[in-house]
Amino acid sequence: MPRHFLTGAELSPDELLALVDRAIELKADPLGSNVLDRRSVALIFEKPSTRTRVSFETGVVELGGHPLVLRRDELQLSRGESVRDTAYVLSRHVAAIGIRTGPDALVEELAEHSSVPVVNMLTAGHHPCQALADLMTLKEAFGRLEGLKLAYVGDGNNVARSLAILGSLVGVEVAVAAPPGYQLSGGVPATLTSDPDEAASGADALYADVWVSMGDEDTAAERRAALAPYRLDDALLDRAAPDAIALHCLPAHPGEEITEAVLYGPRQRIWQQAENRRHAQKALLELLVH
C-alpha cells in the first residue's frame, strides 16, 4: 500500500523530526539524492501557484526525476472523467502524484484509488507541505523544535490548521489568534484566542498569512475590516521572545497582514522559509517513494 501525505498526521513524531533533519541535509547538498532517477511525478494544479509549483518542479528535477505539470483544463477531469479513473491511469505512469486543489474530499478520493503516493500540495482545509518548510525554518533558526512557541495571527485557515497538526507532533506549541467567525474549528491541537497580544506573548515565531485568499474576493472588504487588528508589525514582534522571528507563507500584501518593515526587515526568515519548501518536499518525496 502506498503512503500518502494528506494532512501531515500520517507521519509519526520520529518520522517528522527525521524528515526535517533530512531536509536540512538536502539543502546543504541539493543533488545528494537521486531517488527519482528516470521517474516522473505528476503535479496537478487546479489553483494558481508560484512557490508550490517552482519548489516541486525544481525539487523533482534535483532528485533526478521529471515533473509532469498538469492543469485541470489539460486533463479529462475537466470533461467529466472521474477522480477514480484519473488515479488508476496516473498510477500506471508516475512514481507519485501531487495535487493543489480546493476540496479535501477530492484529494482523499484520489488517494483512495491511487497505487502511488499522493501528496496534498494545498486544499481548502490543509497545507501540510508549507508546514514542513515552516518547521525546517524553525529548526534552522533555533536548533530545536521541542518547546518552541509559534503564534499565528489572522484568519484561521488551512495554513494555521497544518501548523497546529504538524507542530503538535514535534512539541511546538501553536497559538492561533483570530477574530470571531475566523477562528479554527474542529478540535485542532492549538491554543485559540481572539487576542493577538496574548498569542504573541513569549512566542519564538510570529506567523501571518493573507487576509483575502483565493475564493474570498467577494468578502474582501468585510475580511479586511475584521482582520485589521491582527497585523504582524514590529509592535507585535516586541510582545514576543527577544529573538523572535517573523514568518509568512506568501504571497504577502505589505500594509495589510504584515508591514513592509517586517516583511523585508532583519527579524524575518520569510525568504528562507520560501526556499525551504523545495528542500522539505524533497525529503518528503524520499520518504514516500521507494
Tens-digit pLDDT profile for residues 238-270: 999 999 999 999 999 999 999 999 999 999 999
Residue 223 has pLDDT above 80, yes or no: yes
Query: Is 127 an annotated catalytic residue?
Result: yes
Among the listed residues 4, 22, 130, 231, the single catalytic one is: 130
Tell me whether residue 249 is one of the annotated catalytic residues: yes
Looking at residue 227, the DSSP 8-state letter turns out to be H
Over 80: is that where the pLDDT of 163 sits? yes
User: What whole-number distance in Å separates Cα of residue 263 and Cα of residue 282?
Assistant: 26
- Which residue is catalytic, options 51, 126, 249, 269? 249
pLDDT (0 to 100) of residue 241: 98
From 149, 207, 203, select the one nearest 178 (Cα to Cα): 207
- 38 annotated active-site: no
Residue 209 has pLDDT above 90, yes or no: yes
| pLDDT given for residue 217 in this prediction | 82
How much is the pLDDT for 216? 76
pLDDT, residue 77, reads 84
Rounded to an integer, the average pLDDT of 47-76 is 95
Asked whether residue 215 carries a pLDDT value surpassing 80, the answer given is no
Check 100, 126, 269, 279 and give the catalytic one: 100
pLDDT of residue 218: 84
Q: Which of 277, 278, 279, 281 is catalytic?
A: 277
The catalytic position among 127, 231, 278, 279 is 127
In this prediction, residue 139 has a pLDDT band, given cuts at 50, 70 and 90, of: very high
Instruction: Let me know if 129 is a catalytic residue.
Output: no
Percentage of residues in the chain with pLDDT exceeding 70?
100
Domains of the chain: 13-127+277-288 (3.40.50.1370), 129-274 (3.40.50.1370)
**Is 100 among the residues known to form the active site?**
yes
Residue 115 corresponds to which cell in the numbers above? 497505487
Q: Distance between CA atoms of 24 and 285, rounded to whole angstroms?
A: 14
Q: Looking at residue 151, what is its pLDDT? A: 98
209 assigned to active site: yes
212: which 3 cell numbers?
A: 483575502
